[in-house]
């Protein structure tokens, strides 16, 4: 296959800013919220009966990583990430931490919440991030597959609140002028918002997205570095 288009793909590993060098200079790690069922039975959260986005957003509430960290007694947000990755067997043995998983599981039971799915754009963030694209001047977005070998152009207002899932699984969402990318790593419980300069700063602050900006040393597996 030809080399992937950097403006429309996610790094599989390694240094995040180095991957996007020359394309994006600002990358925000958006932590996918945990899920607290309110009007949906908690036993619905299995593959065969998992709520769709509309059900989840109207029948559940988002819970921050910081709330989970505090409840679990884990030492940091990075420890929450290690616990989530270990839980799905997504880390090599030398980086995995079963004690962290035990603490996380107890917190999930105590708070009666569900962990976010890995490798997916959060349903809670779906409309928020699309509104962010609009806030900085976009009416359309491209949605492409993992390597963006296939992509389709969508009117943003058609995607918000739509019952037909378009942004699902491991896909890439980017602006037609290649100025913004929303992408997700297949083995992670967060997504990346990528742009240049201060394009996203005000929008991210207004939307109160939980996360952090990548630093020169930040890697995809930032919690174990």
At residue 143, φ and ψ (nearest 5 deg) are: -120, 120
Q: How far apart are CA 206 and CA 197, in angstroms?
A: 17
Q: How far apart are CA 123 and CA 52, in angstroms?
A: 9
Q: In this structure, is residue 1 part of a structural domain?
A: no
Under a CB-based contact definition with an 8 Å cutoff, are residues 125 and 46 in contact? no
Q: Residues 127, 53: one domain?
A: no
Q: Given 46, 78, 111, which residue is the final one in a domain?
A: 111
Q: Residues 72, 123: one domain?
A: no
Q: Given 93, 111, 129, which residue is the final one in a domain?
A: 111
Q: Residues 148, 200: one domain?
A: yes
Q: Residues 127, 213: one domain?
A: yes
Residue range 163-191, pLDDT digits in tens: 778 998 889 999 999 999 999 999 999 99
Q: Residues 214, 125: one domain?
A: yes
Q: Determine the average pLDDT of the residues in 107-118.
A: 97
Tally of residues, the chain: 225
What's the domain count of the chain?
A: 2
Q: Residues 127, 208: one domain?
A: yes
* Higher pLDDT, residue 82 or 135: 82
Q: How far apart are CA 94 and CA 140, in angstroms?
A: 44
Q: Residues 125, 218: one domain?
A: yes
Q: Given 111, 138, 154, which residue is the final one in a domain?
A: 111
Which residues on adjacent β-strands are paired with residue 30?
191, 211
Q: What is the pTM of this model?
A: 0.95
Q: Residues 20, 92: one domain?
A: no
Q: Determine the average pLDDT of the residues in 89-95.
A: 96
What is the domain range of residue 169? 6-31+119-224
């Amino acid at each position: 296959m030809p080399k992937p288009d950097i403006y429309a793909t996610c790094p599989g590993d390694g240094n995040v800013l180095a991957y996007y060098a020359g394309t994006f200079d600002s990358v925000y790690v958006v932590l996918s919220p945990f899920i607290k069922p309110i009007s949906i039975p908690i036993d619905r959260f299995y593959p065969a009966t998992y709520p769709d986005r509309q059900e989840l957003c109207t029948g559940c509430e988002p819970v921050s990583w910081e709330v989970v960290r505090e409840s679990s007694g884990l030492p940091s947000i990075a420890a929450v990430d290690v616990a989530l990755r270990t839980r799905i067997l997504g880390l090599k043995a030398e980086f995995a931490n079963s004690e962290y998983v035990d603490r996380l599981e107890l917190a999930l039971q105590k708070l009666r919440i569900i962990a976010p799915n890995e490798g997916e754009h959060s349903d809670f963030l779906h409309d928020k991030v699309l509104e962010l694209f609009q806030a900085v001047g976009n009416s359309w977005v491209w949605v492409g597959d993992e390597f963006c070998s296939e992509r389709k152009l969508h009117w943003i207002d058609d995607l918000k609140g739509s019952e037909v899932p378009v942004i699902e699984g491991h896909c890439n969402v980017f602006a037609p002028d290649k100025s913004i990318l929303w992408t997700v790593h297949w083995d992670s419980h967060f997504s990346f918002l990528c742009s240049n300069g201060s394009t996203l700063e005000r929008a991210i602050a207004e939307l109160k997205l939980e996360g952090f900006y990548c630093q020169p040393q930040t890697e995809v597996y930032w919690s174990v570095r």
